[in-house]
A = this chain, B = another copy of it.
């Protein structure tokens, strides 16, 4: 398995997730600005992964300063915080880097820089560990013989490794359960088609690609037994934002009585927001919808809407799989108890 992102002493390497699986192109980023642009352009995507990328970008930017400069450090943090608005993990990671910086006061510039690099790497390591724990907890919800639907890519490529939703699927598979996965292609960016199928096939998991609009058909036929997805932000009442289309899948799952699970680490929770209505939803470029593989699919003059995420109210959620256990309703109370003040 390719690492999603790799820290080298003077640069960050990432695979271009816009090109997978047909092309494996690696980018070597040498400035925090390049990292910020890589996040904006979705060379790297997935809530935990962009948190890690931002942390590494801050460590790289501070290293490139050559001397301590608090204002410059904060400007780097500010630039990275402007890349994408929805995923909580991004702001969580940036806050963690700021706290590390503050707690390193009194140390030399070299020590501070080293502490920031260590913190970014620690965020990455913790993320993989949390995914593996989530996988164990989530596996308890999966039955032998299940066919699991997932949307977008909440896999190794969306995280430090292993994955959130796909971590649960991997854990079930490697524990010996016979499972099949239906992957929604996930327009407009096609993360499900391009990334999820690729990851799962590498692990030998039986994977079917379907168009997003086919999920209801297979649910009605009784072929889908569980749904597992990731999250970009989960708020105090259990409402959550995730890739556009997740909400539709949740409504369909409810209509067919199919359990619908969300898998995410504590870094995805935002207890400062009380309901999903408060989550900012990114509107992305019209060409992501209008152009596929370099070719227009509609007249140039058509109007386009391209919300990158939607919000699913917690009443559609059967359980939230975290590294601390599976959170069940009532969410407001149980999230407070299990995730607490973070």
Q: Mark A299-341, 1 if CB is under 8 A from B, else 0.
A: 1011111110011000000000000000000000000000000
Residues of B with C-beta under 8 A to A207: 302-303
A210 to B217 alpha-carbon distance, docked (Å): 20
CB distance A293 to B290 under 8 Å? Answer: no
Q: Which residue from B218, B251, B301 sits with its C-beta under 8 Å from A216?
A: B251
CB distance A211 to B211 under 8 Å? Answer: no
* Known A292-B293, A293-B292, A293-B295: A213·B187 in contact at CB below 8 Å: yes
What size tier do the contact residues of chain A reach?
Answer: 35 or more
A151 to B201 alpha-carbon distance, docked (Å): 32
CB distance A197 to B251 under 8 Å? Answer: no
Residues of B with C-beta under 8 A to A306: 211
Residues of B with C-beta under 8 A to A197: 298-299, 302
Residues of B with C-beta under 8 A to A290: 209
Residues of B with C-beta under 8 A to A21: 298-299
The smallest C-beta distance from A303 to any residue of chain B, in angstroms, reads: 5
Q: Which of A270-315 contact B (CB under 8 A)?
A: 289-290, 292-299, 301-307, 310-311
- Which one of A198, A245, A299, A310 has the highest number of Cβ atoms from chain B below 10 Å of its Cβ? A299
CB distance A216 to B185 under 8 Å? Answer: no
A71 to B311 alpha-carbon distance, docked (Å): 61
CB distance B213 to A303 under 8 Å? Answer: no
Q: Which residue from B22, B185, B210, B299 sits with its C-beta under 8 Å from A201?
A: B299
Residues of B with C-beta under 8 A to A185: 187, 289, 297-298
Q: Mark A1-40, 1 if CB is under 8 A from B, else 0.
A: 0000000000000000000011000000000000000000
Q: Which of A232-266 contact B (CB under 8 A)?
A: 244-245, 247-248, 251-252, 255
Q: Does A60 contact B (CB under 8 A)?
A: no
